[in-house]
Amino acid sequence: MSSASIFDSAIHGHLWAPSELRERLGDRGRIAGWLEVLAALARAQAEHGVIPADAADAIASTLDASALDLDAIARATQASGHSTAGLIEVCRGQLPERAREFFYYGATVQDVTDTWSSIVVRDLAVAVARELRALEGRLLELAEAHRATVMLGRTHAQPGAPTTLGLKLAVWLAEVRRHVERLIAVRERVAVAQLAGAVGTSASLGTAAPAVRRRFAELLGLAAPEAPWLTARDRVIEFACTCALVTGTLAKAGNEVKQLQRPEIGELTERNPAGTVGSITMPHKRNPEGSEQLGTLARVVRACASAALEGAVHEHERDGTAWKTEWWWLPECCMATAAAVRLATTVIEHLDVDVERMRANIDAMRGYVMSETVMLALAERTGKHIAHEAVYAAAMDGQERGLDFRAAIAPTAERLGLDAGELDRLLAPELVVPAAAAGVDEATASVRARRAGDPPWLTANGPDRAP
């Protein structure tokens, strides 16, 4: 059967999803996850005498998702019109007789699918948090390395006053840190099992329900929920919103690279591997493809978050319309987010910074970007707003007449008692460095301190640059 979603394209999918995640979320991976949940359910039930122990053993040891006949499951699914009846039928056929009737016992579909979703979302929160933390490490280094690298600050896409690259990166850094902290909270909140039965009462498990539920959750490394959440989807929705926040930041960084990579600006460049083709019609092209794809992935995740938010309104004890929408957005949201975090790491790891061009771009503004500094110096003599009016008038006139800012402002400066030497001093872009660098230092110090308090699961395993 062909795959038509771009996420599943053999040719283009690598830009949309890490392949290991695609495996995990695909039919076999999903079934493997469900079987793991069902094995834990059987074990918990056996421990509490709900089903025989040997049935639980057989359920755990017999079923192998990689060997199941997907076509048979598909046929049985369509014949029953039920989302898991087909799987149950095929699995029963594989199980020894003693276990057959205790497979998927006393549980509703959502008990299995929601619990699996919690595991997936929990793991993704962990993976994304770890990758963001590694990215944070890189941003810490970069922000510090460039704490005094002067460049244009731009507002409304127009040169404003100088800033430093380090401060720009410190803004990203602080945002990434907040996302890490959000993900710590989200991971905690989403990692809950579901074992609620048909309508939430767990009636099928009788008085053993609470104990079975706790053990079931524990076996899977999850918490037991304080209440059934068949129709309370706030946790997964919060996860989707957090993904949208995370990918939003990455898209912002991507767009910044894309805009500053314009050769007319040329301050940042996404370094492409050798052999990369930018265009089949224009052979010279070197495109910020990774940076742009960050924008694309963020849009996808945002659309998922919108759909997720609508799903807060579940009707009664199960709402097929709202619930099944999750079957769509949850995997796609996970894939796009994971792909974005990985891609952002690559883009930032391979970012070329052209420090000289940054300085040259400031110089090309012919002094105007120092208008605030001059205004503030004049303000000491004449007041802020009067100084603004004076500098404004001089700057507008100077730009009209093609003067540089020094020439434009000199008469005003002289009139207001600012001598030429002082004026020259005020026109040096490096004047902003102490303030900007202090801003960098404040941000990095804050991030380092909070980073030091990260929980072990976040700092252990996986890539994690030392602070």
Residue 185 binds its own copies, judged by CB under 8 A: yes
* Candidates 36-44, 106-114, 342-350, 420-428; binding stretch for its own copies (CB under 8 A): 106-114
Binding-residue total with its own copies (CB under 8 A)? 206
Residue 109 binds its own copies, judged by CB under 8 A: yes
279, 306, 350, 385: which one is catalytic? 279
Q: Which residue has the tokens 């000199």?
A: 410
Cα 437 → chain centroid? 28
Residues in contact with 214: Cβ distance below 8 Å, sequence separation at least 6, in sequence order: 224
Residues in contact with 122: Cβ distance below 8 Å, sequence separation at least 6, in sequence order: 187, 190, 191, 222
Nearest to 84 by CA among 41, 23, 7, 27: 27
- CA 221 – CA 201 distance, rounded (Å): 23
Q: At its nearest, how many Å lie between its own copies and the CB of residue 79?
A: 6
* Candidates 40-48, 133-141, 371-379, 453-461; binding stretch for its own copies (CB under 8 A): 371-379
Q: How far is the CA of 33 from the CAs of 65, 96, 114, 126, 248, in angstroms?
A: 9, 21, 11, 17, 30
- CA 150 – CA 140 distance, rounded (Å): 17
Residue type, 91: C
- CA 351 – CA 149 distance, rounded (Å): 15
Burial class (CB in 10 A: 0-12, 13-18, 19+), 292: middle
2, 19, 66, 156: which one is catalytic? 156
Residue 236 binds its own copies, judged by CB under 8 A: no
Residue 77 binds its own copies, judged by CB under 8 A: yes
193-222 positions binding its own copies, by CB under 8 A: 197-207, 209-210
| Among 145, 417, 442, 457, contact with its own copies (rule: CB under 8 A) | 442
Which residues sit opposite 164 in a β-bridge? 150
Residue 415 binds its own copies, judged by CB under 8 A: no
| Among 47, 57, 62, 85, contact with its own copies (rule: CB under 8 A) | 85
Measured from the CB atom, is 3 or 61 closer to its own copies? 3
Residue 352 binds its own copies, judged by CB under 8 A: no
Q: At its nearest, how many Å lie between its own copies and the CB of residue 409?
A: 9
Measured from the CB atom, is 278 or 462 closer to its own copies? 278
| Among 3, 61, 346, 461, contact with its own copies (rule: CB under 8 A) | 3
- CA 92 – CA 94 distance, rounded (Å): 5
Active site residue 12: no
Measured from the CB atom, is 40 or 120 closer to its own copies? 120
21-50 positions binding its own copies, by CB under 8 A: 21-29
147-176 positions binding its own copies, by CB under 8 A: 153-164, 167-168, 170-175
262-301 positions binding its own copies, by CB under 8 A: 262-265, 272-273, 275-289, 292-293, 295-296, 298-300
Nearest to 160 by CA among 443, 444, 436, 442: 436
| Among 134, 148, 219, 376, contact with its own copies (rule: CB under 8 A) | 376
Residue 12 binds its own copies, judged by CB under 8 A: yes
Q: b/e string for 203-216 if b means 16 or more Cβ within 10 A?
A: ebbeebbeebbbbb
Measured from the CB atom, is 337 or 361 closer to its own copies? 361
Q: At its nearest, how many Å lie between its own copies and the CB of residue 441?
A: 9
Q: At its nearest, how many Å lie between its own copies and the CB of residue 419?
A: 20
Structure tokens given for 399: 């730009």
Which residues sit opposite 353 in a β-bridge? 268
Measured from the CB atom, is 315 or 424 closer to its own copies? 315
Measured from the CB atom, is 69 or 460 closer to its own copies? 69
202 backbone dihedrals φ, ψ, rounded to 5°: 60, 25
Judge contact between 49 and 43, C-beta under 8 A: no
Angle at 126 between CA 465 and CA 212, to 5 degrees: 145
Active site residue 156: yes
Q: At its nearest, how many Å lie between its own copies and the CB of residue 62?
A: 16
- CA 144 – CA 437 distance, rounded (Å): 9
- CA 74 – CA 97 distance, rounded (Å): 23
Q: At its nearest, how many Å lie between its own copies and the CB of residue 116?
A: 14
Residue 332 binds its own copies, judged by CB under 8 A: yes
Measured from the CB atom, is 364 or 460 closer to its own copies? 364
* Candidates 34-42, 65-73, 128-136, 457-465; binding stretch for its own copies (CB under 8 A): 65-73
Q: Which residue has the tokens 């089949």?
A: 280
Judge contact between 267 and 151, C-beta under 8 A: yes
- CA 118 – CA 114 distance, rounded (Å): 6
| Among 38, 44, 128, 241, contact with its own copies (rule: CB under 8 A) | 241
Q: At its nearest, how many Å lie between its own copies and the CB of residue 127?
A: 15
Residue 331 binds its own copies, judged by CB under 8 A: yes
| Among 60, 148, 219, 259, contact with its own copies (rule: CB under 8 A) | 259
Q: Check residue 78 and report its DSSP letter.
A: H
So which residues are the catalytic ones?
156, 279
